[in-house]
Structure 1
């Protein structure tokens, strides 16, 4: 089954400001990933083509990286995820910039159940939190998307009953 999942947000900021956030991804000073609320994104080396890592049970390799503009990751795990995901920055003019997260994959085997039942709601909440984190880092009013009851339950199950409440502003 083919899956395409897109999240995007327009910011009152120049592309270079969002590009600076993208450049910190998975670093000690990460200003884009919603650290504290989700498993940390980490790689075996700085953000560059060939770096491998991921977050939580999701593993991937950096396939393409244009500093300040885009990054694309190819899935390594879990089983049944074939494809990738990435972030791209698009200048819209007049001090407005689009930040888009795109996931494209084919799912097979157990992923035909795990993606819609667990991974997708968690993925959607995490990406929305990252888009909100960008607003916070750019000193813009944050657009907080509350976690659904399903996401709250899934996080509680995965954490063994110790999931913290939503950690972003709002």
Structure 2
């Protein structure tokens, strides 16, 4: 499976990269919590740091300050592979934020990914892109991301509800 999503943002890559460097911190402007389970890492963006969001567990395997962070899925997640965020310059004052998942689902994830996880993941990433654009530019150039009826149904069915506040403790489900 491969899932690549990106957004062009009218901001310098250095500025967006500085925002990426704050992912999983107490003042993370990108991660769409409390609407989604918070991204929690036990040692920040340092390689070897472990954590995840909700039941999805992974470790930081590569980190390039201001440019890229790659996470490798833990075995119990049911995906052999990684996901990463990458910031690239697209010209003066313009950059691209890309999120990639590349891996092979195993076990029950072979069914869960195409039926539910993929759609929830894409909704989360689009919410994150909205946050990135707002944080980098002070506004949202287009319409805000909207959850599809399928995503809304999955969230209701799975009991996913927005949470109050930001929990920064590392919890394993």
Q: Give the TM-score of the pair, scaled to structure 2.
A: 0.88
Higher normalized strand content (fraction of residues): 1
CA distance in 1, matches of 2:77, 2:11: 38
Pick 1 or 2: higher relative contact order, CA cutoff 8 A, min separation 6: 2
Give the match for residue 33 of structure 1.
31
Once the two structures are TM-superposed, the CA of residue 20 in structure 1 deviates from its matched residue by 1.1
How far residue 135 of structure 1 moved from its aligned partner, in angstroms, is 1.1
Q: Which runs of 4+ in 1 moved over 6 A?
A: none
How many equivalent residue pairs?
161
Q: Which residue of 1 aligns with 2:63?
A: 65
Residues 120, 151 of structure 2: 8 Å contact kept: yes
2:106: which partner in 1? 108
CA contact (8 A) 1:57 1:78 kept: no
CA contact (8 A) 1:57 1:77 kept: no
Normalised by the size of structure 1, how large is the TM-score? 0.90
Partner Cα separation in structure 1 for residue 75 and residue 56 of structure 2: 6
* Matched-pair contact (CA < 8 Å) for 2:57–2:77: no
What is the distance in 2 between the residues matched to 1:18 and 1:129?
A: 16
Residue aligning to 2:18: 20
Q: Find the counterpart in structure 1 of residue 169 from structure 2.
A: none
Name 1:49's counterpart in structure 2.
Answer: 47
- The residue number in structure 1 matching 2:140 is 141
RMSD: 1.6
> Counterpart of 1:93 in 2: which secondary structure?
coil
Equivalent residues of 1:58, 1:77 under 8 A apart = no
